[in-house]
Chains A and B, each alone.
Chain A
Amino acid sequence: MRGGSQPLAVALAAVWAVVYLVTQVLVHPPLGMLATLAIGVVLSTAVVLGYPSALRGPRVSRLGSPRPPDPRGVRSGLAIADAGRSMPLRSGLTPDAARRTAELIRPLLGGDAIAITDTVQVLAFVGHGADHHRVGGALQTKVSRKAIDKGRTVVVHGRDDIGCPEPGCPLQTAVVAPLAIGERVVGALKVYRVHDEPAPRVLVEDMASMLSLHLELAEMDRERHLAADARLDALRAQINPHFLFNVLNTIASKARTDPEEARQLLLRLSDFFRYAVRQDGHFAEFAQEYFFVRTYLSLEQARYGDRLRVRYDIDPQVLTTRVPVLTIQPLVENAVKHGIADKVSGGTIRLRARVDPLTRTTSIRVSDDGVGMPPEVLARLTAGERPGGAEERDRHGGVGLWNISQRLSTLFGERYSLDVESDPGHGTTVDLRIPLR
């Protein structure tokens, strides 16, 4: 269950418990069933509708994902499917993940000792021989090197074949299977026993395949996050230098005639760039994004004067929700640059933000009554095509929209919508719906 829904579920359960106690247990005679249900439904509806209204105070950073459960508490009879679902290696081949994985799979493989290595060093060693098979040390056994170099499973039946330099090492047999991401071997899973019969080779190979799959998924996750970070960086870098020149020119022109306004504009410009470069992570409170948008618009208003009018329509419930960073400002910038700037009489930009508590979605609409865009450009944008030439990018701001769409897709998958409607000569409306966080 998502973090935001859990308190709501608890509140609803508490409401029904109180209703039951007050109408059925503590009172004499008890209230009729129909009336009790009606009271419960009314109160539940009130709680569901009112829940997002309660501003939940300053949020703590949610950058870190919840820690996976400690596998040390897992029983020895754990099914392999359960182990697969909670596999710590899903977060990558790190010493901590390797140790927890080794502890988790040791009872499943029937080994007296389990080791997980990368191609250079031992990441985890659990069981007999842990006193001299040091974690963090270089690979000691020849058998590990052989499995990693050849990329195939090696079974060893004698103590000498293991190749451990420690004379008193109790390990007698070993099955070593390589861990691979695609074709690239990144480590090895080693199952040792202190008696003559090695662990079943098929079982070890299957487990190594499963671990490799998790490592592959971890790699894909990492690449996905890197791509999302790169898109965010690209958006930051896309802050138009022309915008900076224009604002500085505006400030310079006001420095003589209205020094106080020039000072205010400088402060706003400072706030604008500070926010743009200092945002960590992919989400921010809507109130902060709103601050970024109004800072931007106040700078543009200083330039355009009465030609640029702004109307905000903000639901109180939306202020504490978390939205993707640098998502709303590019939409507003597009409205200014491509909607209002080209219209001689200017126009009004409207920012409307709402929360739907029942569908648990945040809805943000940026609209303008500017020049709109031709149907063929709109068709290309809504088809999700990346704009081609620099001229087109500059004229229609398609990269910003495309970038936002790609980032939203990474963050929410299919659970968002970004709709653009435009009527040439009458303006453009961009509607964004994202899950409530």
Chain B
Amino acid sequence: MDDGVDGRDTPAEVDATFRTLRRVAVGYFVVFLVAIVGFPLLAITLDWWSASRLVGGMSPGFLMAAFGLYAFFALIGIAAASLSSAVEARMLGGPGPSGDALDDADAAP
């Protein structure tokens, strides 16, 4: 038996959190997909994407493939992970930071 004072989450709350997290995942997947599909589309439809020179004689397409996509993947991964954990923290368990502060105030002499 759990001796702590943590409350249990009801099935409805867990279900709601799951659906919200699924919405986050789908949203970020759509962003990911748009970026991945957009890359070859730009190469096909926009000559400027491959023919112009941006920095060090490299084209925007080359720079994007060499550096930009990795930065984008890292950014989107971090954003999705932090948003998901923030959603979980806010939708399950206690009232969050301010509630903890109230508990601390109660504990003070």
Q: A260-B1, A278-B102, A313-B19 are in contact. Are A268 and B91 (CB under 8 A)?
A: no
In the complex, the answer to whether B10 meets A298 with C-beta atoms within 8 Å is yes
Q: A54-B79, A278-B102, A288-B96 are in contact. Are A319 and B90 (CB under 8 A)?
A: yes
In the complex, the answer to whether B12 meets A312 with C-beta atoms within 8 Å is yes
Nearest CB of B to A321, in Å: 11
In the complex, the answer to whether A35 meets B91 with C-beta atoms within 8 Å is no
* In the complex, chain A residues 51-110 whose Cβ is within 8 Å of any chain B Cβ: 53-55, 58
In the complex, the answer to whether A267 meets B5 with C-beta atoms within 8 Å is yes
Q: Which interface class (under 10, 10 to 19, 20 to 34, 35 or more) fits B? A: 35 or more
In the complex, the answer to whether A285 meets B60 with C-beta atoms within 8 Å is no
Nearest CB of B to A380, in Å: 32
In the complex, the answer to whether A53 meets B83 with C-beta atoms within 8 Å is yes
Which secondary structure characterizes the binding site on chain B? helix
In the complex, the answer to whether B86 meets A55 with C-beta atoms within 8 Å is yes
Q: What residues of B have a CB within 8 angstroms of the CB of A50 in the complex?
A: 31
Asked if B54 CB lies within 8 Å of chain A CBs, one says yes
Which of A23-31, A135-143, A166-174 forms part of the interface with chain B? A23-31
In the complex, the answer to whether A29 meets B23 with C-beta atoms within 8 Å is no
Asked if A275 CB lies within 8 Å of chain B CBs, one says yes
In the complex, the answer to whether B7 meets A267 with C-beta atoms within 8 Å is yes
Task: Give the residue name and chain of the B residue nearest to A308 (CB).
Answer: B12
Nearest CB of A to B77, in Å: 14
Nearest CB of B to A35, in Å: 7
* In the complex, chain A residues 294-321 whose Cβ is within 8 Å of any chain B Cβ: 294, 297-298, 301, 309-316, 319-320
Q: What residues of B have a CB within 8 angstroms of the CB of A313 in the complex?
A: 16, 19
In the complex, the answer to whether A294 meets B13 with C-beta atoms within 8 Å is yes
* In the complex, chain A residues 28-58 whose Cβ is within 8 Å of any chain B Cβ: 28-32, 35, 46, 50, 53-55, 58
Asked if B46 CB lies within 8 Å of chain A CBs, one says yes
Asked if A243 CB lies within 8 Å of chain B CBs, one says no
0/1 string, A192-212, CB within 8 A of B gives 1:
000000000000000000000
Asked if B95 CB lies within 8 Å of chain A CBs, one says yes
Asked if B44 CB lies within 8 Å of chain A CBs, one says no
Task: Give the residue name and chain of the B residue nearest to A302 (CB).
Answer: B10
Q: A27-B54, A287-B91, A312-B12 are in contact. Are A35 and B96 (CB under 8 A)?
A: no
Asked if A412 CB lies within 8 Å of chain B CBs, one says no
Q: What residues of A have a CB within 8 angstroms of the CB of B12 in the complex?
A: 294, 297, 301, 309-312
* In the complex, chain B residues 60-109 whose Cβ is within 8 Å of any chain A Cβ: 60, 79, 82-83, 86-87, 90-91, 94-99, 102
0/1 string, A239-278, CB within 8 A of B gives 1:
0000000000000000000001000100110010011001
Nearest CB of A to B4, in Å: 10
0/1 string, B16-27, CB within 8 A of A gives 1:
100111011001
Q: What residues of B have a CB within 8 angstroms of the CB of A274 in the complex?
A: 99, 102
Nearest CB of A to B74, in Å: 16
In the complex, the answer to whether B60 meets A301 with C-beta atoms within 8 Å is no
In the complex, the answer to whether B96 meets A285 with C-beta atoms within 8 Å is yes
In the complex, the answer to whether B16 meets A312 with C-beta atoms within 8 Å is yes
Q: What residues of B have a CB within 8 angstroms of the CB of A287 in the complex?
A: 90-91, 95-96
In the complex, the answer to whether A58 meets B97 with C-beta atoms within 8 Å is yes
In the complex, the answer to whether A288 meets B91 with C-beta atoms within 8 Å is no
Q: A275-B99, A315-B23 are in contact. Are A290 and B83 (CB under 8 A)?
A: no
In the assembly, what is the distance between CA of A221 and CA of B30, in Å?
Answer: 48
Task: Give the residue name and chain of the A residue nearest to B6 (CB).
Answer: A267
In the complex, the answer to whether A311 meets B16 with C-beta atoms within 8 Å is yes
Q: What residues of B have a CB within 8 angstroms of the CB of A275 in the complex?
A: 95, 99
Partner-B contacts on A (CB < 8 A): 22, 26-32, 35, 46, 50, 53-55, 58, 260, 264, 267-268, 271, 274-275, 278, 284-285, 287-288, 290-292, 294, 297-298, 301, 309-316, 319-320
A-B contact pairs, 13 of them (CB 8 A): A27-B60, A30-B52, A32-B48, A53-B27, A55-B83, A260-B1, A275-B95, A278-B102, A288-B95, A291-B95, A291-B99, A309-B12, A320-B90
